[in-house]
Structure 1
Amino acid sequence: MQEDTSISLSGIFGGLFDGLWWLVHNIGIAFYNFGYAISHPQLWLDWSDKQAIMRFVYYGASVEFFFVVFTTFLVLTAIGMYYRSFMWGMVRGLEGFANTLGRFFAWAGLLMVVQQIIIVFIQRVFARPDMSFGFGIPLQMDISWFAEELKLYNALVVCLCATYTFVQGGHVRVDLVYAGVSYRTKKVIDMTGSLIFMMPTAVLIWLYGWFFLWRHLIVPNPSASDTLERLLNKSRALRWNVETISFSPNGFNGYFLFKILLVSFAGMVFLHAIAFFYRSFLECVEGQGSEGKYLDKDSLGEGEEAYEGAH
């Protein structure tokens, strides 16, 4: 019995040691992988070479890429803890990126409404089966194409304005204990949430969305289980096969754009999880006086303070 116990304990400690060594090894090798990728861009950015495309596909959702990102996060965090001004700069940069992109693509909501009005007007008043937009080379499509394209505007708002809405504090939140705890406890909850929920969720969406995207852009279809060698072998028969299938006759045929937006959404959520973690850490360390520091929130204008946060 004692021998069985000692064997099981040694197996547990051996597994922990192997896992720790794997983690440390991948963090260490990430510096080499990053340097090699930067110094040899033609191996994965020269898309006239079919093997370069397959390398890009493989490394975009690989363990190597994950640890390059993870190691970069660790290095920047270490520097930021030593130089708080540097960490504040990263917070302002990432939040500024989310705000700029969100404020721009929020106009897609207005375009969606205007286009819907035009569709109804053209269809009911002029009884036309198609519409034409543009100067010089017009975009002429069936009414059903423009009607289905409205979903793209909605996807633009959802995917590219999500982090902007987070910065502005516009997401609906369910509060069970948060409001009743102390200021520093709130910041610890925020930091824990960004590390345990936001980042892993964004990584999972990226991993699934990455190959989901490329399976609708190229053939032979890449798979998450394919090794680099297998993908390089597949590159001999590689050709572009962009998805242009619509769900209705003459309907919108650019559904591959939704796959691109899914990956973009995951990347932006991951980046903002970093910004949220850094902001929560800095506000925790510097005290309640730093809450909302450098936060660029929209305003309805002078005299509308009572409505702030309600839009």
Structure 2
Amino acid sequence: MGVSFFGAIGAFLIWLGSNILGAFVNLFTALTQTSLWLDWLSWDNTTEDKQSVMRLVYYGGSVEFFFVVFTAFLVLTAVGLYFRNVMWGMVRGLEGVANTLGRFFAWAGLLMVLQQIIIVFMQRVFARPDMSFGLGIALEKDISWYAEELKFYNALVVCLCVTYTFVQGGHVRVDLIYAGISHRAKRVVDMCGSLLFMMPMAVLTWMYGWYFLWRHLIVPKPSASDALERLVMKARALRWNVETIGFSPNGFNGYFLFKILLVTFAGLVFLHAIAFFYRSLLEFIEGEDATNKYLDKDSLGEGEEAYEGAH
């Protein structure tokens, strides 16, 4: 019993070490042989192009890709611990990406409200069954198409503003012990939360969302259980089959965009988990003076501090 247990631990450590070392080789191969997985961008409908699509599908949700990202995280963490300013720079950069995306796509909420008002007026006041937007070649669709498109605006806000809201402290939190513990204990809780909750859930969402996306873009439909060789064999019958089916005959037909947003959401959450871990680690090392250092938070103005982070 004991021998088998320690044997399993040893086998796991060997597997982990080999994958971490292999990540350097895989990354070098991917960067020096981009034609293997980027030829599909030109799409000349050749066999090589189709195989590059399948390679992209496989590696995007593969163990190899995970260990490339994981190894990069380990290397950057080691460098950041030695050069602390580098780690602060990564924190500021990742939080800057979150803030920029969030502040831009938050306007989708205003577009959603304005479009809903226009829909109500067109239906109830002008009794029109369709609407047209734009100059020259206008976007002319049934009103039900625009009504269902409102879900897309909502998805933009949810998926692309999630990390921005996290930076701004706007997510709902349940505090049982956090407020009463010391500064360094809080940072330990934050680091554990990013490593044990944010990163694993982002990885799981990416794994399911990646294949969910591609199954609605191409046929034959890829499977997470398919080996690379099987996917390359399937490439002979590959063709684009982008999902354009709506819930109603004249409804919104761009539901593949939601799948793209799901994958984007997972990637953003994973990147911000890294930023949150680095910030918590640096604040743990540097003490209370480093609390919210370089944090770019929005302000509602003087006298409104109690309401900030509650939006």
**Amino acid in the other structure paired with 1:108:** A
- The match for 1:58 is 58
Deviation per residue, 1:204-260 (Å, 9 max, x gap) = 000000000000000000000000000000000000000001001200000000000
- The match for 1:17 is 10
Shifted more, 72-81 versus 173-182: the winner is: 173-182
1:165 Cα shift? 0.1
Deviation per residue, 1:53-103 (Å, 9 max, x gap) = 000000000000000000000000000000100000000000000000000
Counterpart of 2:300 in 1: which secondary structure? coil
What CA distance in whole angstroms lies between the structure 1 residues aligned with 2:133 and 2:308?
38
What CA distance in whole angstroms lies between the structure 2 residues aligned with 1:220 and 1:26?
30
What CA distance in whole angstroms lies between the structure 2 residues aligned with 1:233 and 1:217?
18
Asked whether 1:261 is paired with 2:254, we answer no
What CA distance in whole angstroms lies between the structure 1 residues aligned with 2:212 and 2:78?
35
TM-score normalised to the size of structure 2? 0.97
What value does the CA root-mean-square deviation take over the aligned residues? 0.8
- The match for 1:74 is 74
What CA distance in whole angstroms lies between the structure 2 residues aligned with 1:62 and 1:112?
37
Asked whether 1:135 is paired with 2:135, we answer yes
1:145-160 pair list within 5 angstroms? 145-160=145-160
Deviation per residue, 1:105-159 (Å, 9 max, x gap) = 0000000000000000111111110000011110000000000000000000000
Counterpart of 1:132 in 2: which secondary structure? strand
Question: Which blocks of at least 5 consecutive residues in structure 2 are unaligned?
Answer: 44-48
1:245-260 pair list within 5 angstroms? 245-260=245-260
Q: 2:32 aligns with which of 21, 30, 39?
A: 39
Counterpart of 1:216 in 2: which secondary structure? coil
1:118-133 pair list within 5 angstroms? 118-133=118-133
Counterpart of 1:46 in 2: which secondary structure? helix
| Aligned residue pairs, count | 304
Counterpart of 1:204 in 2: which secondary structure? helix
1:89-128 pair list within 5 angstroms? 89-128=89-128
**Amino acid in the other structure paired with 1:243:** E
Counterpart of 2:173 in 1: which secondary structure? coil
Give the 4+ runs in structure 1 shifted more than 6 A.
none
What CA distance in whole angstroms lies between the structure 1 residues aligned with 2:308 and 2:206?
34
1:306 Cα shift? 4.1
**Amino acid in the other structure paired with 1:224:** A
Q: 1:27 aligns with which of 20, 38, 41?
A: 20
1:159-198 pair list within 5 angstroms? 159-198=159-198
Asked whether 1:270 is paired with 2:270, we answer yes
- The match for 1:297 is 297
1:213-292 pair list within 5 angstroms? 213-292=213-292
In 1, are the aligned partners of 2:169 and 2:310 still within 8 Å (CA)? no
What CA distance in whole angstroms lies between the structure 2 residues aligned with 1:170 and 1:162?
9
TM-score normalised to the size of structure 1? 0.97
Counterpart of 2:243 in 1: which secondary structure? coil
**Amino acid in the other structure paired with 1:307:** Y
1:25 Cα shift? 0.2
Counterpart of 2:69 in 1: which secondary structure? helix
